[in-house]
A and B are shown apart, each in its own frame.
Chain A
Amino acid sequence: MTLNTAPTPSAVRHLAPAAHTKRRKGSSPYPYWFYLPAAVIYTALFLVPTFASFFFSFTRWNLTEFTFIGLDNFVQFFQEPALLKGLTNTFIYGLVTSSLKVVLGMLLAVLLTSRIIARGYLRSVIFFPVLLSSIGVGIVFTVLMDPRNGMINEALATVGLKGPAWLTDPAWALLSVALVDVWKGVGLATVIYIAGIVSIPQEYFEAAKMDGATSIKSFFNITLPLARPATATVIILSLIGGLRSFDLIWAMTKGGPGFTSDVIASVIYKQYQAGFYGLSTAGNVVLFLIVTAIILPLSTFLNRKEVEQ
């Protein structure tokens, strides 16, 4: 009698007859009780800790007892000498990784949606680094980037170039980690772009070809504008990830040498390591506010442009 074409767990079958009688035309066929499991998990794992951390950021605590100290933690966090460098590095890191992922992702996606041999194999190869553990990638690249014995500098030496000290030169440390991050994350951007490009109807390309457009013209006039939703997604996801990035930087340089590749996340982690739990919670609240303050306007801007189209 009921539309049970898919197998249902017993709980749903129990509720379905009741819902059947209460259902009004046009509204959802599922009762609000369906939201309950997801709501419980969301409240327990997201809402409660978020509000708890807002609370604890106003205290000095050592995990078992706390004393309320008002805004002192925030004042101290902003007086942190490494903070200014950490903020600048965070923005540089976020911008570099995000822009490289957008550009390289788009180019790779165009390549991988055209007619080339072993297209499926190449798609898997490009996506493979996304699946790897950041710590594993960090450790392997630290060895490869060793200034004297690392394979990267040895390979450059065979061509006659002297590679820089990737992770120990203060000028290069952050950029080296950003490049490894791009290597690891560009696969995801490519996959999103492939989905975007594949959804463009072929008629546009055929029409353009009949009008005599070169492939570059059709790229700029068809692919790029129509893949805008994919571009918006990639920008937002990679920017959020880049601003919050921690594990790769920690595995490769620990914020070093000195403080030159510190980002906000590693500044916060070091404070947590030293046992300043209230201070690091305040830092996390600040990071949350910074990321929200950047992403919300950006995503409204990008999505509005989409709608205008």
Chain B
Amino acid sequence: MNIYLDLFLTFAKVGVCTFGGGYAMLPILQREVVEKKGWATDEELTDYFAVGQCTPGIIAVNTATFIGYKHKGVPGGVLTTLGVVFPSLVIITAIAAFLSNFADIPVVQHALAGINAAVVALIAASVLKLGRSTLKNGAAIAIFLCVLALAAAGSLANFGTGTLGQVLDLLTSPAVLIVLAGAAGFLLYGRKKGGAGK
């Protein structure tokens, strides 16, 4: 198959299999892009999510652009991105035109509750797979635990609207955590001779 067509269709498949936010596409990306096509590694996926997390735009779109560009330059980046949004265009347009009460249909709500339970398990399995390649030494595990604790606190706790609350809100926001982790990486490995050994 023509590689450009393949890029478009593969990402259209990723789009149609994703339910929820950008993270829900991770298990599908691992299967389609890492295992089947070999267009990226697990490590590269975490890189793209990290960059996507602190650059403008939603993560799902940013990740698609990244993989397409890496593989086939600008046309690749454009095609994967168009691919990942294509199913939404078709499905949402059809639903908005013909089924405006779609989300209120009981069977849809029950099916979605089932899907969400499966997505939780899929993301958990994906994180375990990623961890095998990204958490190889003590420093990496320390960064992982710090960021996990701060991010979880940020999404669960309500820090209030005072000055301290605002500082805590900022400190636990994903973009700031990514920047801090990058700085930690630089301090830990950047100045050692020979860089970070693998």
Do A and B belong to a common assembly? no
